Amino acid sequence: MSDDLTRYSCQIALPGFGEAAQKLLQQAKVLVVGAGGLGCPALQYLVSAGVGTIGVADYDTISISNLHRQVLYGPADAGLKKAVVACTRLQKQNPGIKLVSLDLKITSDNVLGIINQYDIVVDGTDNFETRYLLNDTAVMLGKPLVYGAIYQYEGQVAVWNVKNLDGNYSPNYRDLYPEVDATQIPNCAEGGVIPTLAGIIGCIQANEVIKYITKSGELLSGKILVFDAQTLQSRLIKIGATTKTDIKSLVQTADVPSITAEELKSGLAENRFELIDVRTLQERDLFDIGGTHIPVEEIEENIDYFNSGNATVLYCATGKRSAEAVKVIKQKYPDANVFSLEGGLETIDTIK
C-alpha cells in the first residue's frame, strides 16, 4: 500500500470497500454549506476520510455562543470568518486534500454556479431561505443533497434528490415541507440545542456522503431519520420512492435591510430609530434594550404599524427572526423604513 493510502488503511480494510472506494472518495467533490454545528463534525470526518475536494460555504463570523457545538473553533477565533478558519484548520488535519473557502452568502444569483462544481451537497444551514434555495437548486441540477436539522433534543437526516434506477428522482425537501413559516421557528441559539446532537447528526450526514460516493450501504433516500438525543431512540419515516414536485425555477433571494450595532448606537443617541423587540415575552423578561414589544408571530396582525415612515429597527437574539420579520413587512409595504439588527443581541456589547 502506498504511503498516501496508509492513513486510510482502516477504512480500506473494510469488506467491500478497498482501494477502489478510496479512489472514488479522492476523486469526489463535496460542498458543505454552513460551517456551524452540523458542518463542523461533517467536515472533520469528510476531511479525515479523504474526500478529494471539499468546498466550505459560510459568510458568518464565529461568536462565543457558537463554541459549545461548533467544535472546529476556540475562543481566540471569535470575530473571525467561519469558512476561512475551518479551511485553515482542516487543511492541517489532512494536507493531502483540497479545501475551498467560500466566504460568501449563497443567493439565487450565485447558487447555480457554485453547486454545479460539486458532486453532492451537505446542507448544514440554520435558515429556511437558504435551505429551500439549496434544495431547489439541487433538484434543477440533478445533484443529491444531504439534509440535516437539529433543534433542542431532536435531529433529522435525509438524502434528497437521488436519481433512481428508473431515471426518476427521489423526494426532496419540498415533498416533506412544501413551505414553512420561518418566522415562527426559532434556531439553535434561540430555541436551544444539546451540543452532542449536532455532532451525531453531522456525523450521520458525513456517513451518507461517504455511502453515496462509494456506492455502498443503503442511503437515507425516500425516507427521513428522526433521532431523539434524550431517549437515544430513532425512527425512519418513509416518504416515497419518487418526488411529486416540479421545480423549474428559483425563488429570488433579496437582501434584508439591516444595520450594525454601532450604527444602532449612533442612531439611538440621535433619536433617529424606533426599536421593536420581536422575541418572546420570556426572553424579554430576562433582558432587553428597550423599545416596543411585538413578538414575531404577531407581526402580520400589527403590520400597519410599520407603514408610518418612521425608521424602525427590529431585534431578536441573533438577527434571524428580526430579518424574517422585516421580509414579511417589506412584502406588504415595500417602502417601509424598517431594518433588522445584524447579529441581534449577540452584538449587544458593542452597543453599551
Q: What angle do CA 147, 137, 243 make, to 5 degrees?
A: 65
How long, in residues, is the chain? Answer: 352
- Residue 40 annotated among the catalytic residues of the structure: no
Radius of gyration of the chain (CA): 21
Q: What angle do CA 50, 149, 87 make, to 5 degrees?
A: 35
Among 182, 173, 164, CA closest to 239: 173
Q: What angle do CA 237, 238, 240 make, to 5 degrees?
A: 155
Q: What CATH number should be reported for the domain whose range is 3-238? A: 3.40.50.720
> Buried b / exposed e across 146-156, counting CB within 10 Å, b at 16+?
bbbbbbeebbb
Question: CA-CA distance, 209 to 143, in Å (whole number)?
Answer: 12
State which amino acid sits at residue 211. Answer: K
Q: Which of 40, 87, 203, 316 is catalytic?
A: 316
pLDDT tens over the chain, length 352 residues: 566 789 999 999 999 999 999 999 999 999 999 999 999 999 999 999 999 999 999 998 898 888 999 999 999 998 899 999 999 999 999 999 999 999 999 999 999 999 999 999 999 998 888 999 999 999 999 999 999 999 999 999 999 999 999 999 999 999 999 986 555 555 655 568 899 999 999 999 999 999 999 999 999 999 999 999 999 999 999 999 999 999 999 988 777 899 999 999 999 999 999 999 999 888 899 889 999 999 988 999 999 999 988 899 999 988 888 988 998 899 899 999 999 998 888 777 544 4
The answer to whether 183 and 195 have CB atoms below 8 angstroms apart is no
Question: CA-CA distance, 170 to 273, in Å (whole number)?
Answer: 49
- Strands (E) located in the chain: 29-33, 53-57, 98-102, 120-123, 145-151, 154-160, 223-228, 233-238, 258-259, 274-277, 292-293, 312-315, 338-341
pTM score, two decimals? 0.83
State which amino acid sits at residue 217. Answer: G
Strand pairing partners for 145?
121, 160
Question: CA-CA distance, 75 to 63, in Å (whole number)?
Answer: 8
Domain boundaries, the chain: 3-238, 258-350
Q: Name the phi and psi angles at 172, rounded to 5.
A: -125, -175
Q: In whole angstroms, what separates CA 65 from the centre of its chain?
A: 16
> Buried b / exposed e across 111-122, counting CB within 10 Å, b at 16+?
beebbeebbbbb
Q: Please write the tens of the pLDDT for every residue from 259-312.
A: 999 999 999 999 999 999 999 888 899 889 999 999 988 999 999 999 988 899
Query: CATH number of 258-350: 3.30.1490.190, 3.40.50.2300, 3.40.250.10, 3.30.70.980?
Result: 3.40.250.10
Handedness of CA 286, 291, 296, 297 (dihedral sign): positive
Helices (H) and strands (E) in the chain, counts: 13, 13
Q: Which of 10, 40, 87, 188 is catalytic?
A: 188
258-259 and 223-228 strand pairing:
unpaired
- Residue 316 annotated among the catalytic residues of the structure: yes
Cell of 192: 436551544
How confident is the model at residue 144, as a pLDDT? 98
Cell of 79: 470575530
